[in-house]
Structure 1
Amino acid sequence: MVVAVRIDDHEISAVALYEPLPPLLRLDVLPFALLYSTAAYLYCVRNDSVATLFAALIVFAHALAFLSGEWSVDVRAWMTCTHAREISGDDATTRMLVKVLPSRATLPRQLCRCHVAEKPLQVGGETLASGERIPVLWFSYQNLSFCIYDGLEVINGHAKENSKKDTPCFCRLDFPTQHTLHRYLTSTGYVSSTDLALAGIKWGKNDFDIPIPLFAELLKEQLVAPFFVFQFFCMLLWCLDEYVYYSMLTLLMLVVFECTVVKQRQRNMETLNQMRRAPQRCLVYRSKSWTLVWSDELVPGDICSIGGHSMHTTPGVSDDVGIPCDVLLLRGNCVVNESMLSGESIPLRKEAVGSGLEENELLETLHVDEGSNMQHKKHVLFGGTKLLQHSLDKGSSSKSKIPNPPDQGCVAFVLRTGFGTTQGSLVRTIIYSSQRVTANNSEAMWFILFLLGFAICASSFVLYQGLQDASRDRFKLLLHCIMIVTSVVPPELPMELSLAVTNSLIALTKFNIFCTEPFRIPFAGRIDICCFDKTGTLTSDELKMLGVVGLKTQHLKKNSKHQGELDIIAPEQLPLDTELVLAGCQSLVLLNGHVVGDPLELTAIQAIKWNLVYGASYAHGGSSVQPSFLSDRRGEIQSIDILHRFSFSSEYRRMSTIVSIVKSDNDEPEDRRILTKGAPEVLEPLFAEKPAYYRSVYRHFASRGSRVLALGYRAVPADWTLTSLRQKSRHEVETGLTFAGFLVLESPLKDDTKRTIRDLMIAKHKVVMVTGDNALTACDVARQVGINAGYSKVPLILSVTGKENIVEWIGIDDGTPDMEIETIPFDAATVGKLQVQYDLCVTGDALTALYKQQERGRMSSSDNSRSRSSEENAVLEAFLQVLVKICLHINVFARTLPQQKEHIIMAMNRCGKTTAMCGDGTNDVGALKQAHIGISIVNSPSNENSRRESLSFAKSVGDRGQNAALHEKLQALHDDDVAHVVRLGDASIASPFTSRSSSVRVTKQLIRQGRCTLVTTIQMYKILGVNCLITAYYLSSLYLHGVKNGDQQLTVLGLGIAMFFLFLSHAKPAKKLSHERPPSGVFCHSVLVSILGQFAIHLAVLAGALRAAQPFINRADPSMHPDGKFTPNVVNSIMFLLSAVMQVNTFVANYKGQPFMESFWDNKLLSRSALLAYVALGVAVTEVFMPLNAMLELVPMPNAELQSTLLGLMAADTGATFLFEYVVQQIASSQV
């Protein structure tokens, strides 16, 4: 029986095992060997046309069989393989194949080599000492490995039993990323050399191996592609019909284009290889000792040293230290830059796992995989990121089985290596998205099939008429019918589609916008909804501290002018307790003499005039990356040393530190405190006592657009020792706090935020804010930028109220005393009506409550037999159905968690809208990936400066007046010298588009470019459609009247069309967004009416020209016979000139121009070429320059009247086509 296998992976739907047949038994060898023998025998018996035809058919069939195997994996597997019946452990490594059927159409089907473990491991069940299983059978698909861990006997035995239960399953190569935290903390690395060798077999080298195929291999792959073979076949047909020059020129053009594509692919792969970081030396703990190895030898499960001097490529230069793979920090603290992967430009602090966790929390499973809540991400260093600082507590190894590394690096557990890392995922995306850049899709295929219908009708008409004429050569008749059908697809089509997208990629790169998925660019032209994060996206990171509010008079310094709780207390007037919270509750770091970190914390520390220095010391004698904060106002406090930190997380919306306060008077003992800051509503239940005005004060300032944080502190209990306090959980620490006021900051809008939002809304795009900030603040910022209507509408916030967690709409409470708060019960069906009167905002708490309502509803009616995952999916589906009903009516989503942002975008997509999401941080990753157009904004001024410096020479030359032309050339050379492949430093794993500019105008630029690309592609299809219909008529009805084209005529016409398409693809987007939307695709009414209407006009003009030429037709002329050779005559000359002007008219009339791209006259290459073509055709008609007529194989017109008639027909066709297209576009615009 056949060996049956299945696969469990979201990227692959099915797999099947095959065994290659011996060469002589293959279906593309054995049958044809017999047929060739038969053909040879026929030649010996009867050497005539029948034997020749039989041999030709065999060659054609063999070529088709070979090409079918190249085009279709299913056909190749059927012809060259047989289903595997038993997996042999001897030669299976070289013979077994796996047919991979991906779940997405964008992924290719492949036959992949299957590998079998060595004989001792083939029984299965082999594990490492850590419990990791060793695969028995595996294959690699697009640099991802998929494995079966069952033994060969189990797999083969399953096939013999023919059982469908428990079918052996391939699953993605697993990494040690889902163990308990305790297991990682107690790991001692690889003790056994056998285990280390097995780990090397399982995971391979820690490297991105990107082999560069030979030019000949890639060219062969391009030349056997279906389109090229089809066009090659067409060129052979044209050669048989005596159009040799035209055929050879077109074929040369196709080969040159394919060679260019191959060279570009090789350059892209070389660029990616150059981006690989060279292996570096690092210490690894193996066999109970620290050993120096190369970083590409690391395997998951290793214990390694990160940041020590052994890792420095350049001695003494810490900037050269890169994280070699994904690792879990076990000991020490680090500061890293993750902008290369996540787009987060602010240095991030990473802490060792396990600190501050209770025993039950140590039994939690690690969550760092994509799709999980990634709650332990703060403990993970991702491969490819830069290590900026690190420190190791010297005494921290006292309870560990592993000593501190000799190079004083941080101790880390290797989680993932190679392509399994987060960086590896980004590299894979870049590799497989840059192989073939095109705008081709299923819509193009259906459009070609639509045109094929017309061509088949025309071909059938010619065939019917030809069969009625006994004098017709049947071979030429069949040849001509095939030519009519194949004329549907012009040879320049792949170049047109590739150029449209490639030019857009280059244009976006000039704006510092980088794309890893080029096929998404046309989607940008269809965007309906633009979603924005607030903090760091719409508003600036450069905050201004207004002061602190909410403090009672007795808490203030002497001589303070503070009168009430709403008065803002300036930083210099703050009481000591509040100042200590601002100074000590931080995550700032000192990097190369500069303080870096969260802009909010930077603003606060600068406002209170505290300095940051290193030198914090602990009782256990170690040093830490956590700094000391020194006060400039040397009063009773000298410094603050941070002993422990509970970092900020979107889940808790707060952070805390445990600090030691050093008094200026050395005789006084150190004061230890717990300092906390966070969202006011989150800290409210954590205060031991809060003032009565607590809510009204923070709501007052939040409703005016300010960013408000609550501050609190408490003394560390006397029985907490230095050792024990670091082991306390945050739930023990963050309780019984003393209120220390509200920190109020002003977060100004970015310079071009208002203008960008206004332009998007004028262009009829719905703009939505999706933020994790306070709902009152978000609503006010939305009012400032124009997302909300302003004071003409009252905002309503969907919130959770009461102990019963009731979801209802609540009017804004801005803290005004005795203010009546409007409340409206929530009903998803009435949200549309509420939107008319109110600006609606939905909070994350309300979304959570709605989700829990669906969860409770499902639980009450759940089937116990269903799995937990299926139940969760059902709850999510029910929740999304509710969200779909309301999401299009909401302007602001506030206090949302990262997963809620993702659900919001999913709901909008389900409404049939094309969405864009613009964000700047890792909290937006889920939403960025769900959106059709996800844009990561990375504030990286160094990238912008480097581009300016690279052009400084060109600019200096251009400033010299006389050298302006040279300046333009130099700048153009720089702009064109853009790699088509995205570099790792430019791309982000977070989204398909990454902007190295901090401005939100990137959204507008991307929409403009998307519209230009979309319209350009549709223009190409319209031109293709009209030209194909004209050609079908020309080759059918006119051909029967003896109308033909000469070889030179077709050659000149083909060159002209190729140049026009080239110039068309270089069109630049319009400078302003318009409220008018481009057509969504080819199959819309305006496009189809335009194509058919233009064809009707051309058809009428051609019919009129044929009627005018009737008196000059010589039926006795042999060239007028359908099978006759081409000879220049009056009819051919008239029809060629008319068809040429129709081709030019098609390009000019269908050029969309404003408001989506530059106008026709601004596209100088296209407009000047069109004018030149019109002038040349006019010269040919008037016979002013006869050498031109001779080159075009034209004969003189018999009289002036015919010349005038021809000019009139050309003018009529031009005018009627332009007028008709103008009317169609005006009607289409009015219906938008």
Structure 2
Amino acid sequence: MTVFAGMPNINNATVANDEYEVIGETQWQTLENSGDEQTIKIYGFKHSKLRTALFHTVCILLCGLPYFALAYYPWFNKFKYIKCSLKTADVICVTDAEGLFKTEQVHEIDLNLSNHRDNRLRYFIYQHSRFIWLYDSGIFINVLALNEKVTIGLLMENISGINKRQQNELMKLYGTNSVEVEVKSYWTLFVNEVFNPFYLFQVFSIILWSLDEYYQYASCVFILSTASCMLALYQTKQMSINLHKMAGSTSAFTVTVLRPTRTGREECVVNASRLVPGDVLVLPPDGCVMPCDAMLLTGTCIVNESMLTGESVPVMKGPPCVSPEIYSTEGHKRHTLFAGTHVIQTRFYGNNQVLAKVVRTGFYTAKGELIKSILFPKPFDFQFYKDAVKFVIFMFFIAAIGMGYSVWLYVVRGSHVGTIVLRTLDIITIVVPPALPAAMTAGIVYSQQRLRKNKIFCVSPPRIIICGKLQVMCFDKTGTLTEDGLDFYAVIPSLTEKKFGECVVEVGALPVSSPLVQALASCHSLTSIQGELKGDPLDLKMFEFTQWVLEEPGPENTRYDNLTPAIVKPKPAQGEDLQNLDNYDPFTMEIPYEVGLLRRFHFSSSQQSMGVIARVLGQPQMVYFVKGAPEKVAGMCNPDTLPENFSSVLNEYTSNGFRVIGLAHKKLDRKMKWVDAQRIKRETLECEMVFLGFLVMQNSLKPETTQVIKELHDANMRLIMVTGDNIMTAMSVGRGCSMVQPHQKLVLITVGQQQTTDSRPPLCMEVVGEGCPPKLSIDAYVLALEGKTWAVIRTHYPEWMPAILSRGMIFGRFGPDQKTQLVTALQGEELIVGMCGDGANDCGALKAAHVGISLSEADASVAAPFTSQEQNIRCVKLLALEGRCALSTSFAIFKYMALYSLIQFFSILILYNFYSILGNNQFLYIDLVLTTLLALSLGRAGPGPALTRQSPPVSLVALASILPLVMQVSLVLFMQIAAVYLLYEQTWFKPTQAEQILKWENTVIFIVTAFQYLIMACVYAKGWPFRQPFCANYYMVITLFTQAVFVIILLLCPWDGLANYMEVEVMKTTDKDQTMFRIYLLLIPVLHLILAIGIEASLSNSEKFSRVARIVRRRCGKKEEAGGDAARPLWPPHDRALVC
């Protein structure tokens, strides 16, 4: 069932039950989307001409409104179709895990495969993934599943490629090899943009204001909305263009592939977009950019994978040995060339070609999956956004009440229908202001600008707010908390007396011909590129210590000799002492002392080691050297060769933050030839080895690490280290940077020896530094564990996962997939999780986290919302500060806009009662000048100077938010009524029932409400603790001062021209009663300001409400808590059958 042994057999394809589930009579099905682990449901439908005609008829009768609804509610499309089985469906309706709905067309084409009976291919494409129909099984499967069980041996069988007919048919099956991103036209983007409810509501408001002759504000909103829309279109277009450039085009260049012929094979040049799985690529000697994912068959390659991994160090890749092992791109990275990566150089022996077999194409490649993760990001829910929607709906409900009241009022008065409609619809635009979304983004926009000045770039601005509620922050170690490079510290040789020797810091202290020096000089993946050594920083430091040189074969070396390897040799000054060489003969002094590197087994995260088969020139047998994690290397060695103090010496160095590498060697059988060395399995070599010693490297903390960790701790943020490094080193770094607090004890959880195959592996717990099991409550400890322990707990001890997730702090020896698992598990506990890493092995975790921060400038970092050009964790603190500031600002602006709406709502209803309404110039001043300037000034507030333990509130419907808001609304209404009451108490005032704007009721309400807008802005401009102090926001201070002066002038001494323009009563200097009334009226805003600040200061403290809520829950729910404690497993566990 694979293209690599012939043509895929679609009829007999089998699918694992845990991946594809068929329910009922195949009318619907669940399956997994590729690239992510999201489950989707698909339903079968058929087109119905009658239903389609009825649907369009209803849309026309409803003035096209359903068409607009389709943009946000695509499930309405189901009304056009008839439900049917998947077998007969011509439309597939897809629903993802988030409930999002989409319809996809089923395509049918001819497919002439030799083992495909029906000669028809049915498929649909969803998010660039192709799902094909299995006729025998009666289900759809991802086309990627056809090759998921292919073995390495099967891949390496046929190196002659496929013929042209097979390529054409396979192109029908897999599609073209393209990851091109469509750049939509401005018109298409415009149509998608204007279907946004926000813009539709603005269009409705502009039409309504124009009918009400409110032309000035309607024109301003139209201009601003048009500019905003054009800017959004431009930004969207630019993002599409940038993504399109990043994806590149495979149709722009050609590649060389092999085609089988009757006499053998021939080279053929084809367009890269026509590559299919099964093609055999011929890689040029001077390198290329890979157009697909391919597995190396022959030769070696030097590859720069920074585009995908963020790792700037080139890596060497070679072909795997033939084995029945199942091939996977993730598990066999060292043998796989990934699409988009740059092959710098290829190397071969003699006239052999460097060949690679295509295994994935198009959006199924690693690059394609990266592009898909950007095109279809994982949706996230944030309480603030959900509450904002609920609040807007509630405001519509209030508007409905106001509309009902105004209709009743004007009907009773016998007003014209047109007037009733205009005045009623006005209520909607007042209660739900069209400027609300724009105002709420002000804080985010300003935060993004400040982040950019700090060299932190954001591709998802809404996530800035989420930074304000970060609860858990995960850090990679190397390159994130510690320096990227390693410094050589010492070599500790193992002596024959089963003990370690003295630390060696100079290579001259070791015999140049000793196996330890040979291992240090040969066990690496270094390569020479343009005369400069390139490779892993650890390998570079190790090789520099030996003071040897590396010589690699060039074309002149390999043209006639197929077996010329790379060699390492000491510099001439070191090569004099050869007394300890085996089989030394004085007559052969002319033979140079060189070590040939015959085959390298590259380092992998899963194996935690690397090895090399080498041969000392003149020696009769080959030697296998290995270096890697000390625990891993110890397991390969003969126990008799391990020093008795192996564990204590290892713990001594790792607990002090050093990185320790184990070294070992093994002499191979003299009968082993070069061909045997290229075929032998690694597992065969890695046993009964001789331990050589430790290589100790120093990995120092970055200067900023400790201070930032302390500040994050003080901010009540939980910190986690998740690294692929040794657990002891990780714990030492955790102590060194104060991630583990001085008063906390570390409990190391390991897996004990399994007694029987049926029993669960026991967990061993030890307090680090004390050597005894934990005895106290879990509150006194934090936990540390390795990746293998994590895997055992997930599988055998799921009941302990909550304790691990709540108290785990140090996670060592974690692979890339386990990092992602940890982040996802923490999110499953309803926590807001961040991840900070350099991008090398963290891409999955960075994408999965709510807040992913990449310290890499590679293209892979665009899959993370944030990228920092400063390579340290200071960016985490800055993001937390800006996030809290943006969240607090958005919260304040939302409440201010809500109060602004209700202030105007009350004032309009009061004026309706007195046969008046605000004038157009009054509306214009309030809507465009006063509230707009104040909302923008509110957004200008910068972040506070330091992080605090308290975090901003996130829920708009929490008691701490609702209660002060209700009190403020009540106070607003009371003050407006009090002002009118004060007016009616004046002896000189004579009310009229004439429908007009210029009257005392209007003037009083307009002046008082103008002050109320200023008061509410002042109340919500509170700085501490999440924003700068009020006085530091110069924009707000200037705006409040100038507008307050202007309103006071309108109240106390407006000149005739100003009074006429603003449609307020003119000041009569001869009337002392009116003058005193204006002074008394000024006291109402003063009293309002004092009461409003008091309400906010006393009732809006979320911490107070949280404490009260905890007390209430504690008193009312003791029985429930007791029951919960009884059901919760004890920690630490005391079952000796499970714990050692």
TM-score by length of 2: 0.84
**Counterpart of 1:304?**
281
2: CA distance, partners of 1:1043 / 1:902 = 63
**Counterpart of 1:714?**
666
Q: How far 1:491 sits from its partner (Å)?
A: 1.0
Q: How far 1:1097 sits from its partner (Å)?
A: 2.3
Instruction: Specify which of 247, 250, 253 is matched with residue 280 of structure 1.
Output: 253
Rate the CA distance shift 1:388–1:1152 in 2: closer, same or farther, 3 A.
farther
Rate the CA distance shift 1:448–1:298 in 2: closer, same or farther, 3 A.
same
Indicate yes or no: 2:103 matched with 1:227: no
Rate the CA distance shift 1:436–1:780 in 2: closer, same or farther, 3 A.
closer
Q: How far 1:610 sits from its partner (Å)?
A: 2.2
- Matched position secondary structure for 1:299: coil
**Counterpart of 2:1034?**
1164
- Matched position secondary structure for 2:107: strand
- Unmatched tracts of structure 2, length 5 or more: 1-23, 33-37, 579-591, 756-760, 1069-1073, 1108-1140
**Counterpart of 2:627?**
677
**Counterpart of 2:707?**
755
Higher mean displacement: 578-587 or 1166-1175: 1166-1175
**Counterpart of 1:1098?**
972
Query: What are the Cα deviations for residues 397-428 of structure 1, in whole angstroms up to 9, with x where unaligned?
Result: 5xxxxxx3xxxxx3111222222222223223
Indicate yes or no: 2:560 matched with 1:611: no
**Counterpart of 1:952?**
none
**Counterpart of 1:115?**
107
**Counterpart of 1:352?**
319
- Matched position secondary structure for 2:241: helix
Q: How far 1:716 sits from its partner (Å)?
A: 2.2
Query: What are the Cα deviations for residues 928-987 of structure 1, in whole angstroms up to 9, with x where unaligned?
Result: 34432233332x6xxxxxxxxxxxxxxxxxxxxxxxxxxxxxxxxxxxxxxxxxxxx444
Q: How far 1:1077 sits from its partner (Å)?
A: 0.7
1: CA distance, partners of 2:1093 / 2:568 = 75
- Matched position secondary structure for 2:604: coil
Q: How far 1:724 sits from its partner (Å)?
A: 0.3
Instruction: Specify which of 1055, 1060, 1067 is matched with residue 1190 of structure 1.
Output: 1060
Q: How far 1:434 sits from its partner (Å)?
A: 13
**Counterpart of 1:957?**
none
Rate the CA distance shift 1:896–1:225 in 2: closer, same or farther, 3 A.
closer
Q: How far 1:802 sits from its partner (Å)?
A: 5.2
Q: Identity percentage over the alignment?
A: 24
Spell out the pairing of 1:724-739 with structure 2 (5 A cutoff): 724-739=676-691
Amino acid corresponding to residue 1002 of structure 1 in structure 2? C
Spell out the pairing of 1:883-922 with structure 2 (5 A cutoff): 883-922=801-840
Instruction: Specify which of 526, 536, 540 is matched with residue 602 of structure 1.
Output: 540
- Matched position secondary structure for 1:602: helix
Q: How far 1:721 sits from its partner (Å)?
A: 0.9
Q: Does the 8 Å CA contact 1:549/1:743 hold for their aligned counterparts?
A: yes
- Unmatched tracts of structure 1, length 5 or more: 33-57, 155-165, 310-317, 369-373, 398-403, 405-409, 556-562, 663-667, 814-819, 855-878, 941-984, 1120-1125
Q: Does the 8 Å CA contact 2:459/2:862 hold for their aligned counterparts?
A: no
2: CA distance, partners of 1:280 / 1:1229 = 66
**Counterpart of 2:957?**
1083
Amino acid corresponding to residue 764 of structure 1 in structure 2? N
Q: How far 1:474 sits from its partner (Å)?
A: 5.2
TM-score by length of 1: 0.78
Instruction: Specify which of 855, 876, 886 is matched with residue 1003 of structure 1.
Output: 876
Spell out the pairing of 1:333-352 with structure 2 (5 A cutoff): 333-352=300-319
- Matched position secondary structure for 1:331: coil
**Counterpart of 1:251?**
222
Instruction: Specify which of 357, 361, 372 is matched with residue 428 of structure 1.
Output: 372
1: CA distance, partners of 2:378 / 2:436 = 19
Query: What are the Cα deviations for residues 230-285 of structure 1, in whole angstroms up to 9, with x where unaligned?
Result: 33233433444443433343234323322322222222222333334352232111
CA RMSD after TM alignment:
3.6
- Matched position secondary structure for 2:464: helix
Q: How far 1:1045 sits from its partner (Å)?
A: 0.8
1: CA distance, partners of 2:73 / 2:1106 = 44
Q: Does the 8 Å CA contact 1:134/1:149 hold for their aligned counterparts?
A: no
Spell out the pairing of 1:495-514 with structure 2 (5 A cutoff): 495-514=438-457
**Counterpart of 1:621?**
561
**Counterpart of 1:8?**
31
Amino acid corresponding to residue 1116 of structure 1 in structure 2? T
Rate the CA distance shift 1:925–1:191 in 2: closer, same or farther, 3 A.
closer
Indicate yes or no: 2:327 matched with 1:366: yes
Spell out the pairing of 1:507-546 with structure 2 (5 A cutoff): 507-546=450-489
Indicate yes or no: 2:914 matched with 1:1041: yes
Q: Does the 8 Å CA contact 2:59/2:65 hold for their aligned counterparts?
A: no
**Counterpart of 1:1029?**
902
**Counterpart of 2:982?**
1108
Instruction: Specify which of 1139, 1152, 1173 is matched with residue 1009 of structure 2.
Output: 1139
2: CA distance, partners of 1:97 / 1:699 = 62
Indicate yes or no: 2:102 matched with 1:101: no
2: CA distance, partners of 1:31 / 1:747 = 67
Q: How far 1:761 sits from its partner (Å)?
A: 0.7
Q: Does the 8 Å CA contact 1:631/1:639 hold for their aligned counterparts?
A: no
Rate the CA distance shift 1:701–1:84 in 2: closer, same or farther, 3 A.
closer
Q: Does the 8 Å CA contact 1:1130/1:1197 hold for their aligned counterparts?
A: no
Higher mean displacement: 382-391 or 429-438: 429-438
Amino acid corresponding to residue 391 of structure 1 in structure 2? R
2: CA distance, partners of 1:624 / 1:481 = 90
Q: Does the 8 Å CA contact 1:524/1:1007 hold for their aligned counterparts?
A: yes
**Counterpart of 1:289?**
266
Q: How far 1:793 sits from its partner (Å)?
A: 4.9
Q: How far 1:499 sits from its partner (Å)?
A: 4.8
Query: What are the Cα deviations for residues 422-460 of structure 1, in whole angstroms up to 9, with x where unaligned?
Result: 222322333456999999943321121233343334344
2: CA distance, partners of 1:612 / 1:548 = 21
Instruction: Specify which of 845, 861, 876 is matched with residue 988 of structure 1.
Output: 861
**Counterpart of 1:652?**
607
Q: How far 1:1134 sits from its partner (Å)?
A: 2.1
Q: How far 1:185 sits from its partner (Å)?
A: 0.8
Q: Does the 8 Å CA contact 2:307/2:340 hold for their aligned counterparts?
A: yes
Spell out the pairing of 1:355-754 with structure 2 (5 A cutoff): 355=321, 357=322, 362-368=323-329, 374-394=330-350, 404=353, 410-431=354-375, 441-466=385-410, 469=412, 471-473=414-416, 476-552=419-495, 565=501, 567-568=503-504, 570-575=506-511, 576-615=514-553, 621-622=561-562, 628=568, 630-631=570-571, 633-635=574-576, 636=578, 638-662=593-617, 668-669=618-619, 672-688=622-638, 689-754=641-706
1: CA distance, partners of 2:1096 / 2:120 = 64
- Matched position secondary structure for 1:647: strand
**Counterpart of 1:37?**
none
1: CA distance, partners of 2:59 / 2:102 = 25
Rate the CA distance shift 1:1108–1:592 in 2: closer, same or farther, 3 A.
farther
Q: Does the 8 Å CA contact 1:341/1:989 hold for their aligned counterparts?
A: no
Amino acid corresponding to residue 1084 of structure 2 in structure 1? L
Rate the CA distance shift 1:583–1:758 in 2: closer, same or farther, 3 A.
same
Rate the CA distance shift 1:1051–1:845 in 2: closer, same or farther, 3 A.
same
2: CA distance, partners of 1:1201 / 1:329 = 93
Rate the CA distance shift 1:1081–1:24 in 2: closer, same or farther, 3 A.
closer
2: CA distance, partners of 1:795 / 1:1090 = 44
Higher mean displacement: 216-225 or 1063-1072: 1063-1072
Q: How far 1:344 sits from its partner (Å)?
A: 2.7
2: CA distance, partners of 1:259 / 1:713 = 67
- Matched position secondary structure for 1:772: coil
Aligned positions, number: 1039
Higher mean displacement: 499-508 or 570-579: 499-508
Q: Does the 8 Å CA contact 1:458/1:1033 hold for their aligned counterparts?
A: no
Amino acid corresponding to residue 1192 of structure 1 in structure 2? M
Rate the CA distance shift 1:81–1:803 in 2: closer, same or farther, 3 A.
closer
- Matched position secondary structure for 2:179: coil
Q: Does the 8 Å CA contact 2:663/2:691 hold for their aligned counterparts?
A: yes
